[in-house]
Structure formats: structure tokens, C-alpha cells
Amino acid sequence: MRFYSRPGCAADDGALDENGKPTLDGTGYEESPTGKSDGLNGRRGPNASFDDGPTEVWNVTRDWGDTHSEAGLAWGANSGLSWDEKFSAWVDSLEKSGDDTFVLTTPYNRSFEAPDLECAETAMFLRITFASWYELPFFMEASNAGKRIYFGHMGIITDDGTAWGRMPNFNSRYPDYSSQAASVTTDPSSWPQDESLRSRKIGGSAGDGQTAFDDAHAGTYFDEIYLNKRVGYFLTIQLAFLGSMNLADSANTFNLKPAAFQPGDFLIERFDHTGIGHTIVIKEVRELETTIEIDGVDVAQREAEVISGSMPRRQGDWEGASGRTSCSQNMQLSTSTAQSTTNSSRDKTYSKTSCLSSTQESAWKHCSQKLRATASGFVTTPRAVRLESDARPSSRQYTKPVQTLV
């Protein structure tokens, strides 16, 4: 299924700069004729050789499927968890503040109430934040005037690796204080501030006042959680240009069966190919002892608590499982193909897998709200999902990098 933005939202390439607020077109990437089946041959992404250039936002030193022995925000030493699993553990660990939002923890012994964001922005913010802190790959794709546009750790670039329009060269323009991580963790008063970033708002006319910082702009929030200030500048642009239609794009996300979704995954409600939708982040997941009979078969159930932003922007709203998120495991969310970039000299592959789409009537009618789209992961790992399995696949499933397509 194709997803498109509202007609006329995207500006001409020559008129674009970091202060704009167009919603970019979808990629137009088609899923396979047999549905969202998986394979090793996916959509070609940006070349990994574009890393380390002037547009780079953060350096990539790890892959999502890697395991490392050090303890972290929500895992102990020698946990054996991949970074994808650690991301889920972190989202699951975020504690409630008051009755209806969460507290964001950071690797620097600093915690703040949730940022005020739109719904799709909340999903993107969580993944980008974790990826930048731990030097993991991330990118999303959109299009403008027929050109492929990438937003990610390598910056905001076109298919040839150059900056799109008048987007900044993040690496050479903005500071990175990551080398001070140890000192700021022990001495919070030494946290470096970027006054220019603190004055930045998310592009567009909508307000972005942050409840956690007395209604200051989003740039202030980002300045308080990123030592690498480039990430904050990047987010003020990424969140302006991309929305739920881009999350729903087959080039950016992949489908999961409900038996496989984990904290950090999300649901998307879409009502048409155009216009806005609603994105709901999975916060916590529980297996239920009850079953439901569907087509003569007793099917196990799970329930999830969720968080979501909204328009106008708000702190992530934490909703309990008594609402719309209790779904039967037979809601068939088919799997998908991997999008990848490969740099053979470093033997590194960045991958995304494709999209979520509406499920069959017999599947989604058993949710307490009729979700027009399905549970989706939002990952950039070098792997493809096994079509026959309900389980989340191991990133070690394939030992060779996914081949870049021409």
C-alpha cells in the first residue's frame, strides 16, 4: 500500500531550508506482490560511505544486533541483550510521573518529565534519542520533487550524499561535547549549554512549549539531554518534516504480529492515504491468561500500555491497558522486506524493514478500537523477519550483509 502526504505540502527543492514545515512525500515504495513477505533483497538505502562527512549528526560505532557487556540504563552487565532489545528495555523501564506521563532517563544521571511532542514525533524522538546516545545507525526516507531524501545519523541528504536543499552541515556547524560524558555524570553543574539550540523551536507555526522547562522551546529540552548538540538541531528539523505518513511508509517500518510486539514498537491509526494519522508507542506489554475464541479457535491474548503525543503538542500521555490496546494474538500482521545500505569495506549494513498497513477485517475487528493499521517495529537493524514465525527475529539470523540494490 502506498502512503502519500497532503497534496501541495512539499516545497520546491530550491526553497527548502531548516525553518520550513512542509510534510514530505512518501517514497512510493511498493511492497511485494505477495504481500509483506520478507526477503534479503530490500530497498536500497544511502551508502554507508556518506558517514563521517560534513553532514553527519553522530558517529556510528555499533549495530543494533550487537551485544556489549557494559551495564546501562535498564540492563545489567553481561546481559546478552542486543541494542534493539536494550532499546525495548529502556522504554519499558521509564517510570510514570503523576497519573498520565513518563520520566525520561538519560545515560548522564539526568531525568526529566516527557517532552511535549506530537504523536509521530514521540515515536521518532525515542528511537533517535537512544540511537544517538549509543552511536547506533538510524535513518528514515521521504521524497521531494522525485528525489530520495534521507534523515538520519548521516544528516539530511539526497541520494548522492550531499545536503538536501539548504540543510546544514551538522558536523562542521554545531558542537559535540560527548567527550565530557564522564565529568557531567559526576558533576551535573558542568553540563554544557548551547544558547542557540535552546532558542530553537520545531519548524512550523505550531507551538512547541515544553512543560518540563516552563514552556521553553523544544531546543531547550534537547539541549538538556544531548551532549552532542547536533542531535538537538537535527531533531528540530526531522520532527518538522516527517510525520505518521512517513512512519507508515513501507520503506521505513515493518509489520509485526501482535505476539511479537515489544516496548518501543508502535501502532499507527491511518484513515486514508493522505492527511494525518495517530501514532501510539507501546510502553509495556503483558501476557494474559485469558483467551478469546476467533473462528472456532481459542487464541491467547496480550495487553499493552501505551504513550502518545498529540496535536497540539503535549507530554506523552500514558494510557492503561483497559482501553484500546488489548488485542488478540491472531491479528495477522505480515512481515516485510529489509531496506539496507552496505559498505563492503567496513562490512557494515544499515537496514530498515518495510511498513505496516491495514489488517484484514477478521483480524482487527477484535481490538477494542478498530485500528486501521497494525503494530509496527521501528528499527534499523541488519536483519529480515522470518515470515513463518511470530517471534522477533535475531539480528544474527543472516551472517552476510544484505546486498545493496541498484
Instruction: Give dist(CA 236, CA 197) in Å, integer.
Output: 9
- Whole-structure pTM value: 0.77
Q: What is the CA radius of gyration of the chain?
A: 20
169-182: pLDDT as tens digits: 999 999 999 999 99
118-148: pLDDT as tens digits: 999 999 999 999 999 999 999 999 998 888 9
3-state secondary structure of 223: helix
62-106: pLDDT as tens digits: 999 999 999 999 999 999 999 999 999 999 999 999 879 999 999
Proportion of the chain above pLDDT 90, given as a percent:
48
289-315: pLDDT as tens digits: 888 887 888 888 888 899 999 988 999
H helix or E strand, kind and range, residue 339? strand 338-343
341-370: pLDDT as tens digits: 333 222 222 222 222 222 222 222 222 222
Q: Is 80 exceeded by the pLDDT of residue 385?
A: no
Rounded to the nearest integer, the mean pLDDT of the chain is 73
47-71: pLDDT as tens digits: 888 998 999 999 999 999 999 999 9
Q: At what angle do helices 83-93 and 119-133 cross, to 10 degrees?
A: 120
pLDDT at 272: 67
The amino acid present at 269, given as its one-letter code, is E
Instruction: Give dist(CA 354, CA 276) in Å, integer.
Output: 20
